[in-house]
């Protein structure tokens, strides 16, 4: 077991590091501590000291009493290198759950793209790939991406780039970005569609729609994703694996954006 020193989370320190010149009122700090479950998370690190990667995820499942049901496991391909593309209903727990399934199946050879929140989970750094949100990629980032796609690791991606929202009363991903199609073609990786059955609370979706109504650019609802994860305690999730899609299918009869929407429709047809 690869152990590391015990980790603790201190929201007050995080806020001071992010905004050193701003004096944040104590009641706001306390509120942030509550919605990110600072005490519960620190209790987790005390109970499971030094766990990493797949072992970390197993411990998180035990801590949250989360279980999974897998359908279509026979569709998981053997040999080759693949891009696993799925819907993103939860914004965190769905990613580590699917990553765990694939990691166990492929002897840890799975890497997945991560948002800023998950990148703070140091115990899983080896499995995460930071999403570069800067328009023009640095040479360093581009070379890392090339090495990643050329590696033997399978890749797990959520092409929507953010977790699902409620649109016209239906929980669904927003537009799937085309990058995973372009990379599948460039690096000759077949795509395996994955559907994850789950949803966040009505509070989360209502807050997201309220923010959009008032044209607020700051993604307020993302602050509540840890709270949403703790609301999933005791849940059983169903993950469905679809049949691999050969990269050769993605020809010039459609644009890459249209192919991305096509794969998205395949994923949601598995609901």
CB–CB of 222/57 below 8 Å? no
CB–CB of 166/208 below 8 Å? yes
Residue 166 bridge partners (DSSP):
171
CB–CB of 180/261 below 8 Å? no
Other C-beta atoms within 10 Å of 105: how many?
A: 16
Q: Of 267, 269, 239, whose CA–CA distance to 176 is shortest? A: 267
Which tens digits make up the pLDDT trace of 49-80? Answer: 989 999 999 999 999 999 999 999 999 999 89
Does the pLDDT of residue 245 top 70, yes or no? yes
Which tens digits make up the pLDDT trace of 191-226? Answer: 999 999 999 999 999 999 999 999 998 889 999 999
Mean pLDDT of 167-178: 96
Report percent pLDDT > 90 for the chain: 76
User: What secondary structure letter does DSSP report for 96?
Assistant: H
What are the start-end ranges of the E strands in the chain? 67-71, 82-86, 110-114, 128-130, 154-157, 165-167, 170-172, 190-197, 236-241
Does the pLDDT of residue 144 top 90, yes or no? no
Across the chain, mean pLDDT equals: 91
Strand pairing class (82-86; 154-157): parallel
CB–CB of 195/267 below 8 Å? yes
pTM of the model: 0.90
DSSP reduced 3-state for 232: coil
């Amino acid at each position: 077991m690869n152990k590391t020193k015990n980790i603790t989370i201190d929201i007050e320190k995080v806020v001071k590091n992010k905004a050193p010149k701003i004096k944040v009122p104590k009641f706001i700090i306390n509120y942030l501590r509550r919605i990110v479950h600072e005490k519960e998370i620190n209790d987790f690190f005390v109970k499971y000291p030094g766990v990493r990667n797949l072992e970390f995820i197993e411990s998180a499942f035990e801590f949250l009493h989360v279980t999974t049901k897998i359908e279509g496991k026979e569709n998981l391909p053997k040999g080759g290198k693949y891009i696993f593309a799925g819907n993103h209903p939860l914004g965190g727990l769905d990613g580590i759950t699917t990553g765990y399934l694939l990691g166990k199946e492929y002897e840890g050879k799975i890497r997945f793209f991560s948002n800023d929140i998950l990148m703070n989970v140091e115990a899983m750094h080896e499995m995460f790939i930071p999403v570069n949100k800067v328009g023009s990629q640095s040479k360093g980032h581009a070379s890392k991406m090339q090495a990643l796609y050329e590696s033997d690791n399978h890749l797990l991606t959520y092409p929507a780039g953010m977790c699902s929202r409620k649109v016209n009363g239906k929980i669904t991903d927003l537009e799937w970005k085309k990058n995973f199609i372009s990379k599948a073609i460039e690096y000759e990786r077949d795509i395996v569609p994955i559907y994850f059955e789950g949803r966040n609370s009505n509070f989360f979706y209502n807050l997201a729609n309220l923010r959009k109504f008032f044209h607020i650019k700051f993604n307020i609802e993302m602050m509540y994703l840890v709270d949403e994860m703790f609301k999933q305690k005791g849940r059983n999730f169903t993950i469905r694996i679809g049949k691999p899609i050969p990269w050769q299918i993605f020809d010039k009869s459609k644009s890459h954006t249209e192919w991305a929407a096509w794969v998205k429709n395949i994923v949601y047809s598995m609901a």
